[in-house]
Amino acid sequence: MPPETKLTPMMEQYFKIKAAYPDAFLFYRLGDFYELFYTDAIEVSQLLELTLTSRNKNAVDPVPMCGVPYHAAAAYIDTLVEQGYKVAICEQVEDPKTAKGMVKREVVQLVTPGTVMEGKNLSAKDNNYLVALAQGISDFQLAYVDLSTGELKVALIADEEGVLNEVSVLRAKEVLLTNDISESTKELLEKRLGLVFSYQETMICPPHFESLTNELDEGLKEVTLKLLTYLNETQKRSLDHLQQARMYQVDHFLKLDYHSKANLELIQALRTGKKQGTLLWLLDETKTAMGGRLLKQWIDRPLIQQQAIETRQNQVASFVHAFFERGDLQEALKKVYDLERLAGRVAFGNVNGRDLIQLKTSLQQIPLLRHILQGIDQGEWQGLLSRLSPMEDLVQLIETGISEDAPLAITEGKIIKTGFNEQLDQYREAMSSGKKWLAELEAKERQATGIKTLKIGFNRVFGYYIEITKANLVHLPENRYERKQTLANAERFISPELKEIETLILEAEEKSVDLEYQLFLAIREEVKKSIASLQQLAQAVSEIDVLQSFATVSEKYQYVRPTFNQEGRLRIIDGRHPVVEKVLGHQEYIPNSIEMDQDSLILLITGPNMSGKSTYMRQLALTVIMAQIGCFIPAESAEMPLFDQIFTRIGASDDLIAGQSTFMVEMIEANHALQHATTNSLILFDELGRGTATYDGMALAQAIIEYIHREVRGKTLFSTHYHELTVLEEELSQLKNVHVGAVEKEGELVFLHKMLPGPADKSYGIHVAKIAGLPKRLLERADDLLVQLENGHPIQKAPLPVEQLSLFHEGNEEEQRVLDELRRLNVLEMTPLDAMNVLHQLQKKVK
């Protein structure tokens, strides 16, 4: 700020408030606008494409300023938060009419990427997690919350890689750090995930915060209380919907690091970044927003406990066999709104009448859901049925209290039903009678004055009035009314009788609106008492929704129920890649089996590019994930062991942010698998070692295969173009060669897309290049070089141009002598005439 600036009281207030929120844009309320000043104004005007103006334009140092109307501010705030910024909303907190001096203002909410409660940044089927992170001596403490649903969970994470993986899985947009977080961890999160960081050191511990964390040990309790304190200080309102903090252990679920999840395209397609083409896209037949969110959580965290998986399988089977009942259930679920977020809005204080009607409509579906489940239950639904509480009292309260046509605003009346409150009914009767009295008064005055066009109207400035056109003023008896307002073609008057009726009506209207608001708040407080029950009910409905989604997909695509064994047998007969099959159609997709008994550890896969090796490997991984979330799978039959982890190295990718080449990324991901895999893990390595020199790559690939066979001993699929590695089948007893079939037909390569025993006879790389459309000359040259290499000859220099090669066909001794003579000539020492003579002799020999 320039030294000559003399701050007004308003700007002094602004700077005092802004100092408390240096990393946020301050939306400072002035009348009907939110204004921004100085650097905030300059940046926001560019980000939102607003006009930048200034206060004190004629001063030496005018103050940069921009603003947005308060009624349209939500859209602008959404845009800023979506871009990763924070917005502090500053409101007037006292009535300007009663304020002595400067009107008091305070920040009433800090909106950040991790604390969004509504708006376009809150996708219906996505959670919005805020993560808090602290670093201990030997591990990290992590807590996360979804403010919109109240979900609160904590975990201990072993290392930086685990933190990165967990934050990535949660798809968090904001991370709350404590001072003990190292710069390396912060830098890793910043580079890899591009997060917004916030900081919280203090812990304010009101009793209800303590009660949410009383089951946690000291380290986890501290990071969770800092997270709750941050929410309390930024949101400045009730957080009664926050659930009890629950600890989970990462190793209680099937582990996939964020590289593997990206490679397998579980939630997000690699090329487009969208849902289409992913496993989530395939499986999502959910009918509710909360069911969609739970499905994503299940895909992120497959189970490893056989009993829990089989419980889900039993429920899916129950739905598969109850086609008509499932259809009725789906129709009921379509009428269930987002109970989790409705409960959050109730606690947060921003619920309106229409939200409560949605809540009532949702609860009215619960008896139907119970009836359907009871009709098909053979023991598998007892646990869920016990959590499906109809909550009739809450339905009755909303039914009798809230109007079906309730407006969005809760302070303008018309929200409470007639018959709910006697005093309100009396006010409404007064208003109704007042309008009747006005009609009677208008008729009486027309009769008394003889003016048929006389009318009684109303505006907010003058209240009720009698209006007479100027042409009829001559008929008005003198001194009958008191003049109130003159218009261009009419006069407006009042009378004692009209003022009396006006007082009755306006008092009734004002008191009615105030009373309705108080009644609505009372109903909201009653609903708030049921938040915990609503959240439990929401969880049960979400599970039902996901399970019916599994059943719908399983029936639609003819999936089967897999079985599990403890002996390490993996036997999937005619398995299919679920997503590719959906795109191609069931008739077009060529299935493949995979069989590995307890004595089989490694399948070494060879075959041409584009033949389906990577698809085969991804197919297995997706099949395992589907099986371990409780869904049926695409196959004729299947049995498998329970896997604890899946590691993938599929597809070439540079990590430009970290400055790593494809080969470095390969080695890092391979090392991660080799260090952490167990005998119960699934390892998928696709063409490992291709990013370096041939012999280096081959040596590394063989060493890795031998290490897995000898040390790791987890089920492994290893595809390669190094055909030399296929001899390992003779040396490693638990390695088996398979290949993807391909045949040459009339010079064209035909992919069979079928997995066959034994190694591939060749790679067909040049055929694939032909399919890709490379130039004909180039392909012919590649064929020549391939023949040389396959015959054990070193690669020769490039031959003479094609036009000259056509003169010298291999196999003609005379032509070969001419070539030799031509090579021996020293053209630089010859005269032009000598050169002409020699060329003529050579040409004669060739002819």
Number of other residues whose CB lies within 10 A of the CB of residue 802: 10
Query: Is residue 664 within 8 Å of 692, Cβ to Cβ?
Result: no
Alpha-carbon gap, residue 216 to 198, rounded angstroms: 23
Would you state the pLDDT for residue 402?
95
Nearest-angstrom CA–CA distance, 590 and 362: 44
Q: Is 611 annotated as a binding residue?
A: yes
With b meaning 16 or more CB within 10 Å and e meaning fewer, what string describes 664-687? Answer: ebbbebbebbbeebeeebbbbbbb
d(CA 568, CA 571): 10
3-state secondary structure of 787: helix
The pLDDT, as a whole number, for residue 195 is 87
**pLDDT tens-digit series, residues 20-30:** 999 999 999 99
How would you label 18-31 residue by residue, b for 16+ Cβ within 10 Å and e otherwise? beebeebbbbbbbe
Examine the pLDDT at 658 and tell me if it is beyond 60.
no
pLDDT surpassing 70 at residue 827: no
Q: Cβ-count burial of 585 within 10 angstroms (0-12 exposed, 13-18 middle, 19+ buried)?
A: exposed
Distances in whole angstroms, Cα of residue 383 to Cα of each of 113, 302, 373, 374, 439: 36, 20, 11, 12, 63
Look up tokens 């490893």; give the residue. 304
What pLDDT was estimated at residue 789?
Answer: 62
- pLDDT score, position 417: 94
3-state SS class at 317: helix
435: its two tokens: 């309008």
Report helix, strand and coil shares of the chain as percent, to nearest 5. 45, 20, 35
pLDDT for res 229: 93
Least confident stretch, 99-103, 155-159, 627-631, 641-645? 99-103
Q: Give the whole-angstrom CA distance, residue 63 versus residue 56.
A: 7
Distances 274 to 280, 389, 604, 607 between C-alpha atoms, Å:
10, 37, 33, 31
The model's pLDDT over 506-516, given as tens digits with 9 standing for 90+, comes to: 888 889 999 99
3-state secondary structure of 66: strand
Residue 22 annotated in ligand binding: no
826 carries a ligand binding annotation: no
Q: Is the pLDDT of residue 330 over 70?
A: yes
Kind of pairing, strands 129-135 and 174-177?
Answer: parallel
- Answer yes or no: is 477 a known binding residue: no
Average pLDDT, the chain: 87
CATH of domain 129-252: 3.30.420.110
637 assigned ligand-binding residue: no
CA atoms within a 13 Å half-sphere pointing along the CA-CB vector of 236: 11
Q: Check if the beta carbon of residue 742 is closer than 8 Å to that of residue 590.
A: no
Q: What angle do CA 27, 29, 31 make, to 5 degrees?
A: 150
613 belongs to an annotated ligand binding site: yes
CATH number, domain 305-391+540-556, options 1.10.1420.10, 3.30.420.310, 3.30.460.20, 3.40.50.1000:
1.10.1420.10
**Domains 9-111 and 129-252 equal at CATH topology level:** no
To the question of pTM greater than 0.85 for the whole model, the response is no
Q: Is 117 known as a binding-site position?
A: no
pLDDT score for 293: 97
**Rounded-to-integer distance, Cα 402 and Cα 414, Å:** 9
Distance CA 279, CA 285 (A): 12
pLDDT for 830 equals 65
Per-residue pLDDT at 436 exceeds 50: yes
Beta bridge partners of 142: 133, 155
Q: Which CATH number fits domain 563-761: 1.25.50.10, 3.40.50.300, 1.10.645.10, 3.30.465.10?
A: 3.40.50.300
- DSSP characters for 185-208? HHHHHHHHH--EEEE-------HH
CB distance 318 to 381 below 8 Å? yes
77 contacts 111 by C-beta, under 8 angstroms: yes
Bridge partners, residue 64, by sequence: 54
* Backbone φ/ψ region at 273: left (φ over 0), alpha (ψ -120 to 50), beta: left
pLDDT band at 45 (very low <50, low <70, confident <90, very high): very high
Give the pLDDT band (50/70/90) at residue 654.
Answer: very low
- Report the chain's C-alpha Rg in angstroms: 38
- Pull the structure tokens for residue 138: 């030997």
Q: How many angstroms separate the CA atoms of 828 and 268, rounded?
A: 66
Smallest CA-to-CA distance from 198 within 150, 142, 132 is with 132
Q: What pLDDT digit, counting tens, does each position of 795-807 carry? A: 555 554 544 444 4
> Quick check: 764 pLDDT over 70?
no
Helix (H, G, I), strand (E, B) or coil at 14: helix
Eight-state DSSP code of residue 222 = H
Rounded Cα–Cα distance for residues 149 and 277 (Å): 28
Given a cut of 90, whether residue 656 has pLDDT beyond it is no
- Residue 433: Cβ within 10 Å count: 14
- Of 1.10.1740.10, 1.10.1840.10, 1.10.1420.10, 3.40.50.720, the CATH number of 422-524 is 1.10.1420.10
Please tell me whether residue 680 adopts helix, strand or coil conformation. Answer: coil
What proportion of the chain, given as a percentage, has pLDDT over 90? 59
List the chain domain ranges: 9-111, 129-252, 305-391+540-556, 422-524, 563-761, 764-796, 802-846
Contact 490, 467 (CB under 8 A): yes
Contact 501, 438 (CB under 8 A): yes
Tell me the three state secondary structure of residue 528. helix
Which residue in 646, 648, 647, 650 sits closest to 629, CA to CA?
Answer: 646
Cβ atoms of 229 and 617 closer than 8 Å: no
Reference 255, options 598, 665, 625, 627; nearest CA is 625
Stretch 608-614: mean pLDDT: 77
Residue 759 is labelled as binding a ligand: no
CATH for 9-111 is: 3.40.1170.10
Q: How far apart are CA 376 and CA 315, in angstroms?
A: 10
